[in-house]
């Protein structure tokens, strides 16, 4: 019985160790924690194009995996965060970034709300002024 | 007069909003415009499917208009597009080159054997590196590349007969002139 237990433990142990060895995605973490932290921070800012509402960090799609691998390789080669992001934007467009850059395409997106605020403010000003005026002369509009 | 404007303005604004929303119904958010259109196609060298030791070099394609069709044996939408590619190949008007994306040679060859091979040459991209350079995120994707090696059009998703006739064929006629 004891022998069987030992055998069982041995087999169990073996299974545990092999499954750890197969966890290829998680393993590089120990190699360079600084780089992994950079990768993690950056991949939260990037969109996975396969499942568009997920970040590159959250996605398990094969493309996201490939891109993480590529980013890791480029960081290891000494590229700065900006260079890596530029590399991805050159291939996939601004859409990969969760924070859209300010350019002519996104001007309406960035400044539209302020424009609406201005228009609203102007209308409010006109209405209030008109009401103040009509109060004086007992306006018929009420 | 002033009253009519006051009355009609909300209606007009509403109709404009409806117009935008209506157009939105027919836009596909999965189709991300590629920044590569209008730029030189990334050059690559890759092993040729089924011909061990042979290499496909995209630089050799300069001087002719060609299609680069990214596909894979595991891709269901590629099967959908396959008859269109076969029909294109039959006309002989355009050379279609395949890029077998993240696939195994054996499976890719099996598919071509079963359904027919519309490609002049199939280059293989087993680890998806060339795919990243071309901004591939969903197969099938097809690039129309002109004589100077510039990408002129990118089709994301299968080429349908309609897209072929309304977009690709007219473009090819213009480019091949």
State whether A48 and A95 are in the same domain.
yes
Rounded average pLDDT over A30-35: 74
Cα A10 to Cα A50: distance, rounded to the nearest angstrom: 42
State whether A64 and A78 are in the same domain.
yes
HSE-CB for A121 with a 13 A CA cutoff: 6
More confident residue, A49 or B32: A49
Rounded average pLDDT over B117-141: 90
Give the model's confidence band at A61: pLDDT under 50 very low, under 70 low, under 90 confident, else very high: confident
State whether A79 and A29 are in the same domain.
yes
Q: Is residue A129 part of a domain?
A: yes
Is the bond preceding residue B133 a cis peptide, omega within 30 degrees? no
Contacts of A52 in chain B (CB under 8 A): 29-30
Q: Is residue A122 part of a domain?
A: yes
- Residue A23 pLDDT greater than 50, yes or no: no
Domain extent for B128? 33-176
State whether A96 and A29 are in the same domain.
yes
Q: Pick the residue from chain A with its C-alpha nearest to B39.
A: A90
Biggest CA–CA distance in chain A, Å, is 106
- pLDDT value of position B119: 92
Cα distances from A38 to residues A47, A61, A76, A110, A122, in angstroms, run 16, 20, 11, 28, 46
Domain extent for A50? 24-101
Contacts of B77 in chain A (CB under 8 A): none
Q: Is residue B136 part of a domain?
A: yes
* Contact (CB, 8 A) for B70 and B99: yes
- Residue A22 pLDDT greater than 90, yes or no: no
What is the model's pTM? 0.73
The length of chain A is 142
State whether A51 and A115 are in the same domain.
no
Q: Is the dihedral of CA A7, A8, A11, A16 positive or negative?
A: negative
Give the model's confidence band at A39: pLDDT under 50 very low, under 70 low, under 90 confident, else very high: confident
State whether A97 and A129 are in the same domain.
no
Convert the pLDDT of each residue in A104-120 to its tens digit.
878 888 899 999 999 99
- Neighbouring C-beta atoms of residue A112, cutoff 10 Å: 11
State whether A92 and A107 are in the same domain.
no
Q: Is residue A60 part of a domain?
A: yes
Give the model's confidence band at A132: pLDDT under 50 very low, under 70 low, under 90 confident, else very high: confident
Mutate to test the interface with A, among B2, B29, B32, B134 (most CBs of A within 10 A): B32
What total number of domains does chain B contain? 1
Q: Which helix (H) or strand (E) holds B80?
A: helix B76-91
Residue with tokens 């966890």: A23
Q: Is residue B67 part of a domain?
A: yes
Rounded average pLDDT over B98-110: 92
Q: Is residue B163 part of a domain?
A: yes
3-state secondary structure of B95: strand
Inform me whether the C-beta atom of residue A89 falls under 8 Å from chain B C-beta atoms.
yes
State whether A84 and A124 are in the same domain.
no
Convert the pLDDT of each residue in A67-81 to its tens digit.
888 888 888 888 888
Inform me whether the C-beta atom of residue A87 falls under 8 Å from chain B C-beta atoms.
no
3-state secondary structure of B129: helix
Tokens of B78: 């590629």
Rounded average pLDDT over B16-28: 88
Contacts of A49 in chain B (CB under 8 A): 32, 137-138
If you average pLDDT over every residue of chain A, what do you get?
A: 77
Mutate to test the interface with A, among B13, B35, B104 (most CBs of A within 10 A): B35
State whether A38 and A97 are in the same domain.
yes
Convert the pLDDT of each residue in B49-77 to its tens digit.
988 888 899 888 888 999 999 999 999 99
What CATH number has the domain bearing residue B95? 3.40.30.10
CB burial class (10 A; 0-12, 13-18, 19+) of residue A55? middle
- Neighbouring C-beta atoms of residue A68, cutoff 10 Å: 21
Q: Pick the residue from chain A with its C-alpha nearest to B41.
A: A91
3-state secondary structure of B163: helix
Q: Is residue B14 part of a domain?
A: no
What CATH number has the domain bearing residue A85? 1.10.8.640
Q: Which residues pair with B166 in a beta bridge?
A: none
């Amino acid at each position: 019985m004891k022998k069987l237990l030992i055998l069982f433990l041995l087999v169990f142990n073996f299974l545990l160790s092999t499954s750890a060895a197969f966890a290829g995605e998680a393993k590089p973490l120990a190699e360079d924690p600084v780089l992994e932290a950079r990768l993690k921070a950056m991949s939260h800012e990037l969109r996975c194009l396969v499942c568009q509402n997920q970040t590159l960090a959250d996605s398990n799609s094969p493309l996201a995996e490939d891109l993480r691998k590529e980013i890791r390789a480029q960081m290891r080669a000494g590229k700065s965060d900006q260079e890596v992001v530029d590399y991805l934007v050159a291939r996939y467009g601004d859409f990969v970034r969760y924070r859209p850059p300010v350019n002519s395409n996104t001007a309406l997106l960035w400044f539209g709300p302020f424009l609406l605020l201005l228009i609203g403010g102007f209308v409010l000003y006109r209405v209030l002024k008109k009401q103040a005026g009509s109060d004086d002369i007992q306006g018929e509009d009420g | 007069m002033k009253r009519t404007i006051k009355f009609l303005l909300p209606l007009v604004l509403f109709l404009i909003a409806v117009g935008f929303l209506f157009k939105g119904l027919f836009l596909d958010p999965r189709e991300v415009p590629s920044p590569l259109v209008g730029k030189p196609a990334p050059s690559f060298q890759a092993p040729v499917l089924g011909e061990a030791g042979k290499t496909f070099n995209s630089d050799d394609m300069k001087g002719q208009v060609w299609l680069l069709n990214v596909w894979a044996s595991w891709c269901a939408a590629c099967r959908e597009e396959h008859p269109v590619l076969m029909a294109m190949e039959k006309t002989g008007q355009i050379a279609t080159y395949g890029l077998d994306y993240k696939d195994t040679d054996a499976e890719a060859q099996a598919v071509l054997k079963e359904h027919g091979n519309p490609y002049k040459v199939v280059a293989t991209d087993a680890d998806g590196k060339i795919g990243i350079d071309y901004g591939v995120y969903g197969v099938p994707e097809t690039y129309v590349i002109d004589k100077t090696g510039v990408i002129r059009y990118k089709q994301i998703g299968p080429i349908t007969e309609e897209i072929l006739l309304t977009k690709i064929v007219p473009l090819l006629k213009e480019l091949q002139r």
